[in-house]
A and B are shown apart, each in its own frame.
Chain A
Amino acid sequence: MDAHATTAPVSSPDHAHDHPGVGTYVKIGIVLFVLTFMEVAVYELGYNHAGAGFGALLHPVVVPVLMMLSAIKFALVAMFYMHLKQDSKLFSGVFVFPLIIAAVVIFSLILLFAYHYAFQKLIT
């Protein structure tokens, strides 16, 4: 096959029928709303009612729980609303590869500066 061969793009109106319907979008919307409510509930219980009961149990894990809920919301929007689940894997690659670099940059900088501040405290 010719290396420079071209084909018609698949983003035609017919391709749109591969996308989920309005019902699925609404269900995902409800899940996103519930997850946001859970995030705020975790914040309220874990920080403002941390003295006793469920709040006391939640307090040490507020940050990981919030990160997990946020990651689920992120994935739902990317997969269903941005159609990465149905569209070409090339689009997923173009999005996910920089996302991995972004995550590495964030964690590297946090570690680097945590080390820097810890070292500063040690010498003062």
Chain B
Amino acid sequence: MSHDTAHALEHDTSTGLDNRKLAIWTFIGSECLFFASLISTYLVYRGKSLVGPFPHEAWTSPAGRHFDPILEIKLVTVGTALLLFSSLFVVIGLNGAQRGNRGQLLAGLGATIVCGIFFVGMQVYEFTHFVHEGLKLQTNLFGASFFTLTGFHGTHVTIGVIWLSTVFILALRGKLPPKKALNLEMAALYWHFVDVVWIVIFPVVYLMK
């Protein structure tokens, strides 16, 4: 069997769709259920903490220590904007990859990675700030559900940054021609999913009192 024949058989499918793309969509579908469980847990325990710090209300402990509302809406709004822009940049990079425009591909992908790194940095700063303010995983129900939900999302963003960085290195080496653009499209789909999850988390956790 020649190499060309083997290559063709490898990619012909009964659905007419690429199996790798169907696989990433199936994975994203399963991730919907994963994040649904975390978001439900956050919502179910919302407002049920017996001790502070609280997300939107000030609190004074029995020992007399005062705690301000802990969430930093302005900081997280900047992070949200970065994540939205990163989704725009990755789709512009994908457009470049599919059309063989190497400059557009590298610029789009590079900007996406930078936005992703800044978002993770924002989250690391936020978590560190919360711990300094006295909110830990074991402090109250808000701390437990907040750190679990946003922590898992942050982990997904970190994995996305690593994945996109490997594709970026491939593109830099000239190993991402238009016929292999699906390698970037799969990473981009994952990245957009991480973005849509944040689109839900942002109002649910930060904006709804």
CB 8 Å contact bits of B189-209 with A (1 = contact, 0 = none): 100110110011011100111
Chain A: interface secondary structure? Answer: helix
A105 and B36: CB pair below 8 A? Answer: yes
- The total of chain B residues at the interface (CB under 8 A) is 61
Which chain B residues border A99 with CB–CB below 8 Å? 29, 32
Which residue of A9, A12, A81, A94 contacts B29 across the interface (Cβ within 8 Å)?
A94
Q: Which residue of the partner chain A has the closest CB to B23?
A: A94
- Give the contacts of A82-110 with B (CB-CB under 8 A): 82, 88, 90-91, 94-95, 97-99, 101-103, 105-106, 109-110
Which chain B residues border A82 with CB–CB below 8 Å? 189, 192-193
Complex Cα distance, B136 from A8, in Å, reads 53
B199 and A21: CB pair below 8 A? Answer: no
Asked if A11 meets B21 with Cβ closer than 8 Å, knowing A70-B199, A95-B28, A98-B30, the reply is: yes
A69 at the interface (CB under 8 A from B): yes
Which chain A residues border B73 with CB–CB below 8 Å? 40, 43
B118 at the interface (CB under 8 A from A): no
Complex Cα distance, B208 from A45, in Å, reads 13
Of the candidate stretches B79-87, B153-161, B164-172, the one touching chain A is: B79-87
B207 and A91: CB pair below 8 A? Answer: no
A33 at the interface (CB under 8 A from B): yes
Complex Cα distance, B15 from A28, in Å, reads 30
Complex Cα distance, B190 from A22, in Å, reads 20
CB 8 Å contact bits of A18-57 with B (1 = contact, 0 = none): 0101100110110011001001101100010000000000
B66 at the interface (CB under 8 A from A): no
Which chain B residues border A88 with CB–CB below 8 Å? 15-17
B26 at the interface (CB under 8 A from A): yes
Which chain A residues border B104 with CB–CB below 8 Å? 22
B92 at the interface (CB under 8 A from A): yes
A91 and B84: CB pair below 8 A? Answer: no
A8 and B8: CB pair below 8 A? Answer: yes
A91 and B25: CB pair below 8 A? Answer: yes
Asked if A63 meets B208 with Cβ closer than 8 Å, knowing A8-B12, A9-B11, A95-B25, the reply is: yes
B22 and A91: CB pair below 8 A? Answer: yes
Which chain A residues border B182 with CB–CB below 8 Å? 11
Which residue of B14, B99, B192 contacts A16 across the interface (Cβ within 8 Å)?
B99
Asked if A98 meets B29 with Cβ closer than 8 Å, knowing A9-B16, A11-B18, A110-B43, the reply is: yes
